[in-house]
Amino acid sequence: MNSGRVNNDLTVDMMQFFRTNLSPFSDQEILDELILAPILAITAELKKGPGNGPDLIDFSGSPNIFELIQFKSPLKEIIILTANDASVMNMQRSVNNNNDAFDLSHVLKLIPELEDSGRSSEKAKDGPVIQNLKCDFNRDNPTNPVVLKKSDYLLCFFTLNFICPDLDSYRMCLKKMHDMLKEGGSLILIGLLDAEFYTVGKKKIPLLSFNESFLKQAMTDAHFAIEYFNKIPSKVPHDVASYGHVCWVRGVSTKK
């Protein structure tokens, strides 16, 4: 693959990794690290935002993250970006509350702050409007032919570690995410530091590796002012995945 291009096909393995490791039968340490701590960080950041019905673009590696945040945030609209047809189908099942969709309802029981925000037709009436779009960050306009209005928030939940084969493609994605946000809008980025690989079945699949210094510099170069940064050391078993830390960062879009 050419330098500076993302590999959208890797989202299939990425989705399978999260289906396996975010199930009700997963070890508590894995759930804490890969879903519980990041979700609490995301909802805390969303509560700091504008109260007049902000909107959010969700480009997330983990299936159906929007289900965990949509009723505990002031969001008016969520636009879900998915990178291939299989991901589009899964997200559409979730939007339609289809039984075949990957279900994260067990996670709600582990987070008291979100416990009352499970699936229900009554709550869905009060929740944000949800759209599902296919995207390709190799294009000048990732959602071509649709031109998105600029958003208040963009959430990226692990995806770039999985689909970016090199640092150039990572930088490219950050710059295009900047262009999707209003000036003063926020990128909420969940990622892995010093990553090596993850496993799906017997396959060991490489992850893009970078350190904290690279991430902060890449965000600065993409015209984000870093407002918040945190990280936790990995306790995930080495046969599941290998990386140093999970990190979450909020970068505010500044003028180019």
Please write the tens of the pLDDT for every residue from 7-41: 877 777 777 888 788 788 888 888 889 888 888 88
pLDDT digits (tens, 9 = 90+) for 195-208: 999 999 889 999 99
E-strand spans in the chain? 55-60, 77-82, 129-134, 151-157, 181-193, 197-200, 203-206, 224-233, 241-242, 245-253
Q: Which own/partner pairs from 214-218 qualify as long-range (CB within 8 Å, at least 24 positions apart)?
A: 214/167, 215/191, 215/247, 215/249, 216/249, 218/167, 218/170, 218/171, 218/174
- Read off the CATH number of the domain in which 166 is found: 3.40.50.150
Domain membership flag for residue 14: yes
**Overall number of domains in the chain:** 1
- Residue 188 φ/ψ, nearest 5 degrees: -105, 110
pLDDT for position 85? 59
pLDDT at 187 over 80: yes
CB contact set of 231 (below 8 Å; sequence gap of 6+): 193, 212, 245, 246, 247, 248
Residue 2: inside a domain, yes or no? no
Domain-located, residue 1? no
* pLDDT score for 67: 62
**Which pLDDT band holds residue 50 (cuts at 50, 70, 90)?**
low
* Residue 4 covered by a domain: no
Structural domain span for residue 115: 10-253
Is the whole-model pTM more than 0.75?
A: yes
235-252 tens-digit pLDDT: 999 999 999 999 999 999
Domain presence at residue 66: yes
Q: CA–CA separation, 164 vs 189, rounded Å?
A: 14
Predicted confidence (pLDDT) per residue in 101-148, tens digit: 566 777 767 766 655 544 443 444 466 788 888 899 999 999 999 999
Residue at 5 is within a domain: no
Q: Does residue 1 surpass a pLDDT of 70?
A: no
